[in-house]
Chain A
Amino acid sequence: MGVRRIFTTTMVEATPAGETGSSDDWRDREAAIALQGGDERGLETLVRRHQIPAIRAAFAITGDRHLAEDIVADAFLNAYLRIHQFDSKRPFTPWFFRIVVNGALKAVSRRQYVSAGLDPASTEAHCDPEAHVLQRELQQSVFDAIRALPPKQRAVVVLRYYLDLDEASIARTVGSPRGTVKARLFLARNRLRKALQYAGEVDMGNKR
C-alpha cells in the first residue's frame, strides 16, 4: 500500500505554470535538471525513487518480472538519452511512465503475450497460503480476468488501479485520446466485474 501512496502524490499533475507540486515532484525535477546538465547522480536518484513502482507496473502489464526489469532499465536509459526533451516545469513521473508503459506494451506485442498475465509461481513467493484464502481466490480470479484482457486495456487498468492515475493522466501517459481511455477502462472494468462476481459471489455479496 505504501507504493500506492507514493504514486498518488507523485503522479499529481502540476499546474501549467508548474508553480505547485509535491516535494517529491521537486526532488524529481531537481534530479532531472541535474541529469540534463550531465550529472549521472540525477539518474541514480530517479532510479532509486521510481524503479519499484515502475517494475511493478511493467510486471502487471507483461506478467513477467524479468522482462519488466529489462523494460524499466531500458526506460531509464531511454529517459537519460531523451532527458533534454523533458520539460522540467512538469512532473517527471507521467513523462517517465509513458516510456515504461509504451515499452511494456511493445514488449507484450513483440513477444505476443496474448495470455500474458501474472506468473503464479512468482506471486506466491511472499504469500501466506493459509491466510486470506478467499481473498487469494478472488485475486486469482481478477488476474485471470486481467490475463485475458487485451494489452492496451491491461495497461489502462494498471495505470488506473495500480498507479491511481485519473483518465486525463492516463491519456497523456499512453498517448491516446481521453475517450479511448475511458472506453478501454469501461470494457476492462466490465470484464473484471464479471470475473469478480463469478468467483466471489458470496464474498462480494457480503461486501455490498
Chain B
Amino acid sequence: MNTVERDIARAIERQVENAVPDDTDLWPVIERRLGEPNHAWHRAKPIQRRTLFIAALVALCMVALSMVTAVAVPPVRAAWTAKLTTLTGGQQQRHSSISSRPAAGGGQVIGVDPTSNVIVLSPGYVPEGLTIYEVADIPRRPPPSPGQHVVVVPHTAILVAGPASSQPTRPSDAALAAVSSLGKAGVDVVYMRYSSPTSGDYVEVIETASWAGQPQVEGESIIVTGSPAQLQESGGQTAVKLIRGRTVVTVRTNLGREQTLKVAENFKSG
C-alpha cells in the first residue's frame, strides 16, 4: 500500500471503529428472529425448493431419456431393417455398407424375417462385411441340417443361411418364429456352432451386444473354454448364455446340466 492507500484505510478504520463499538452484539436480535413463529417456514422453504428442483430435474431427465429412446433408437433400428430389407430384395443393393458378394456357387437371399432380423441366405452367399459361421441350430427344434450357415450381425441381426452343399433350405417356420420371439424380446440372439474346444456342439448365445464392456463387432466369434469332457457330456447340444460384461458364462446342456465356464478374453473374429 502506498501513502494514499494507507490514509484511506486508516480513515475508514478509524471512522467505522468509532461508529460501531466492539461491544455491539447482534446475537440476541438474531436469536429472537430465529424463534419467531414463521422461522420454521423460512427454514423449510429452501428444502422444499430443493426437493422440487430435484424432482423436476429427475422428471426432465426421464422425459429426455424417453425422447431419445423414441427418436434415436427407431431410426437406428430402421436403418438396420433397411439394410436387411435391401438384402431381402436380394439383388437390389441400396445400401452401400453391406454389399452383396456372391461366393463360390453363387448365392441369394431366400427369405427374411424383418421383425427378428433373420435373413435366410443361400449357400455361399456372403454379404460383404459380414462373417458367416458354420451352422446353427434353432434350440429345441429338430437338428440342424449340416452345413447351414449363420451370419452374425452385431446388436440386431441374425442371418441364417442355407446349407452350403445342398439346395437352399429355408429354416422351418417354427424355427423362425422362435427366433422372432426372442428378437422381439429385445435380445440379440445368435445361433451358431463353435468348433473349439468341443467340436460338434451347438451353443445358444444370448446377449451378444457387448463383451467385457466392449461392443461386439461384426464377425466376432465366441470361444468357450472349459473342460471339453464336460461339454462332451452334454450330448452335443449346449446352450451358452453370455452375460453382458462378464467373462463367466453358464452353459446349459440339453440334459439339464449347468456348467459355469470362463469365456476366453479374445473375443475376436473367427
| Cα separation A43 to B30 with both chains bound (whole Å) | 9
* B12 in the interface (beta carbon within 8 A): yes
* B43 in the interface (beta carbon within 8 A): yes
**Which residues in A have some Cβ–Cβ distance to B below 8 Å?**
1, 3-4, 40, 43-44, 47-48, 51-52, 55-57, 59-60, 65, 68-69, 72-73, 76-77, 80-82, 84, 118-119, 122-127, 135, 138-139, 142-143, 146, 157-158, 161-162, 164, 189, 192-193, 196, 204, 207-208
**Which residues in B have some Cβ–Cβ distance to A below 8 Å?**
3-5, 7-22, 24-27, 29-31, 33-34, 42-43, 45-46, 50
Q: Name which residue of chain B comes closest to A76, CB basis.
A: B30
A-B contacts besides A56-B16, A143-B11, 20 pairs, CB < 8 Å: A43-B30, A52-B24, A59-B19, A59-B20, A60-B15, A65-B20, A73-B26, A76-B26, A77-B33, A77-B42, A81-B45, A119-B19, A143-B15, A161-B12, A162-B12, A189-B4, A192-B4, A192-B8, A196-B4, A196-B8
Using known A-B contacts A69-B26, A158-B12, determine if residue A193 contacts B20 with beta carbons closer than 8 Å.
Answer: no
| Cα separation A112 to B63 with both chains bound (whole Å) | 47
Using known A-B contacts A4-B13, A139-B15, determine if residue A52 contacts B8 with beta carbons closer than 8 Å.
Answer: no
CB distance from A161 to the nearest CB of B (A): 4
Check if B18 sits within 8 Å of A123, measured CB to CB: yes
Check if A122 sits within 8 Å of B19, measured CB to CB: yes
Q: Name which residue of chain A comes closest to B4, CB basis.
A: A193
Check if A40 sits within 8 Å of B34, measured CB to CB: yes
Chain A residue contacts of B50, Cβ below 8 A: 84
CB distance from A107 to the nearest CB of B (A): 16
Contact of B5 among A43, A81, A138, A189 (CB under 8 A): A189
